[in-house]
């Protein structure tokens, strides 16, 4: 019922009348061109001239609708007047001929249907008044022959014409608006690719925050707890732990500022900076201060690794050592990094240790290390071994990397 009367019907009528108004300049120009060619016409020929002007006006309208900005104007009007949703109609000008052709098809049908509804809206009220109060029997006989139609019924039928025409035209426009004013398949594909890229970039930024800030908070918490326990008995260790806390916090704040700066950009990019394996000795020293000695054997090759591979390897080691702190406690760990045949092999193992309660929302670290490795075409897995240890292993290809 709302399609016949009510707010939705009124909005669609406004949209159609707007189309009729837009049709008038094209129709008048066509009428002038045809009248100048064919001169004065009798009434029957004049009717044909009107339809001829309409037929000429529509192609002219289609040509003007090829202007890219017409798409935005029509989409805005259709959306504001209830013919489409914000997600279904385009918000940018036409960038391809496929989009321009769709806009032209919409514009032509908008003007044609708007002209029909506008014509009925203008002609029907006087016709109803004429039938009710000034009936012409000759005219009625011309239309209905010998059939005697009751005048009130005839007036009601005439009054229903604009209502039904508005409902039908509005429904058709609402149905075709997403197809003609919405994004083309190429635009949908480009938007999906852009969305995928943005999600991938956000995931990378989230991994950076998780690995850098998460590790720093874990290390600072454990260092502070150890310093508190030894405050009276070993002041030298406490001073060293406080210095390590300061250094760890400063490095974490610097990395946090870098990531937040990327997030503030309109189109964030993958971070190209961050710690590499060159900072590995400092990381191992921090772990030693909190009671996690790491026996490291690092192939001399990592010094010349591409930046992206070196950063990924550092983050994987950092996450593995952070998990040692969180889940195993103060237990020794063994780290091995080898580079041979264009592949870096990384292995970190430690005793499982006593069970510790998991923190809420945990479990993202191992998934993040696997994602880092996958980005470079490698793999990273973690899990318990048969001899009661936990093993984190990664393989990162380095050939062909251009970072």
Give the model's confidence band at 59: pLDDT under 50 very low, under 70 low, under 90 confident, else very high: very high
Does the pLDDT of residue 215 top 80, yes or no?
no
Return all residues near 38 (Cβ < 8 A) that are at least 6 apart: 45, 49
Return all residues near 192 (Cβ < 8 A) that are at least 6 apart: none
Does the pLDDT of residue 225 top 80, yes or no?
no
Architecture of domain 190-397: 2-Layer Sandwich (3.30)
Does the pLDDT of residue 144 top 90, yes or no?
no
Across 28-32, 113-117, 248-252, least confident range: 248-252
Across 43-57, 184-198, 237-251, 354-368, least confident range: 354-368
Q: Determine the Cα–Cα distance for residues 301 and 279; give it in Å rounded to an integer.
A: 15
Average pLDDT estimate for 242-250: 78
Name the residue among 250, 264, 382, 278 with its Cα closest to residue 322: 382
Give the model's confidence band at 354: pLDDT under 50 very low, under 70 low, under 90 confident, else very high: low
Check residue 334 and report its DSSP letter. E
Residue 40's φ and ψ, nearest 5 degrees, are: -70, 145
Are 278 and 231 in contact by the 8 Å Cβ rule? The answer is no
Across 32-46, 51-65, 275-289, 351-365, least confident range: 351-365
pLDDT, one tens digit per residue, over 145-174 is 555 667 777 778 888 888 899 999 988 988
Does the pLDDT of residue 140 top 70, yes or no?
no
Q: Determine the Cα–Cα distance for residues 6 and 26; give it in Å rounded to an integer.
A: 31
Across 36-40, 217-221, 270-274, 384-388, least confident range: 270-274
Average pLDDT estimate for 82-90: 69
Check residue 87 and report its DSSP letter. T
Geometric angle at alpha carbon 88, from 86 and 94, rounded to 5°: 100
Lookup: tokens for 125: 């009220």
Task: Compare 92 and 274 and report the one with higher pLDDT.
Answer: 92
Does the pLDDT of residue 63 top 90, yes or no?
yes
pLDDT of residue 67: 92
- Domains in the chain: boundaries: 7-183, 190-397
pLDDT of residue 273: 62
Check residue 358 and report its DSSP letter. P
pLDDT of residue 118: 92
Most confident of 33-37, 271-275, 331-335: 331-335
Does the pLDDT of residue 401 top 50, yes or no?
no
Are 216 and 248 in contact by the 8 Å Cβ rule? The answer is yes
pLDDT, averaged across the chain: 80
Q: Determine the Cα–Cα distance for residues 64 and 43; give it in Å rounded to an integer.
A: 32
- pTM of full prediction above 0.75: no
pLDDT of residue 89: 85
């Amino acid at each position: 019922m709302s399609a016949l009367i009510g707010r939705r019907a009124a909005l669609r009528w406004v949209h159609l009348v707007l189309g009729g108004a837009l049709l008038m300049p094209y129709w008048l120009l066509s009428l002038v061109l045809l009248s100048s060619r064919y001169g004065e016409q009798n009434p029957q020929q004049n009717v044909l001239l009107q339809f001829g002007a309409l037929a000429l006006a529509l192609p002219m309208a289609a040509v003007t609708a090829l202007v890219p900005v017409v798409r935005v104007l029509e989409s805005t009007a259709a959306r504001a007047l209830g013919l489409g949703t914000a997600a279904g109609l385009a918000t940018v000008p036409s960038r391809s001929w496929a989009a321009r052709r769709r806009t032209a098809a919409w514009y032509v049908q908008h003007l044609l249907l708007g002209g029909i509804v506008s014509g009925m809206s203008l002609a029907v009220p006087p016709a109803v008044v004429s039938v009710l109060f000034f009936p012409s029997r000759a005219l009625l006989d011309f239309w209905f022959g010998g059939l005697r139609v009751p005048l009130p019924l005839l007036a009601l039928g005439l009054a229903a014409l604009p209502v039904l025409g508005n409902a039908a035209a509005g429904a058709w426009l609402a149905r075709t608006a997403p197809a003609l004013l919405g994004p083309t398949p190429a635009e949908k594909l480009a938007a999906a690719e852009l969305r995928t890229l943005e999600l991938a970039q956000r995931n990378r930024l989230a991994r950076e925050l998780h690995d850098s800030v998460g590790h720093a908070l874990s290390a600072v918490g454990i260092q502070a707890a150890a310093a508190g326990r030894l405050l009276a008995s070993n002041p030298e260790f406490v001073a060293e732990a406080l210095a390590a806390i300061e250094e760890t916090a400063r490095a974490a704040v610097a990395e946090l500022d870098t990531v937040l700066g990327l997030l503030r950009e309109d189109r964030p990019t993958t971070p190209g900076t961050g710690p590499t394996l060159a900072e590995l000795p400092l990381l191992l020293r921090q772990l030693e201060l909190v009671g996690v000695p790491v026996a490291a054997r690092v192939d001399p090759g990592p010094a010349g690794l591409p930046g992206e591979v070196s950063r990924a390897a550092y983050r994987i080691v950092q996450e593995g050592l952070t998990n040692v702190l969180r889940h195993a406690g103060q237990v020794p760990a063994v780290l091995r990094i080898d580079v041979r045949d264009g592949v870096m092999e990384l292995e970190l193992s430690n005793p499982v240790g006593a069970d510790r309660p998991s923190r809420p929302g945990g479990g993202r670290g191992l998934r993040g290390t696997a994602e880092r490795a996958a980005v470079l075409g490698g793999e990273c897995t973690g899990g318990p071994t048969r001899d009661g240890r936990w093993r984190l292993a990664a393989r990162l290809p380095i050939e062909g990397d251009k970072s």
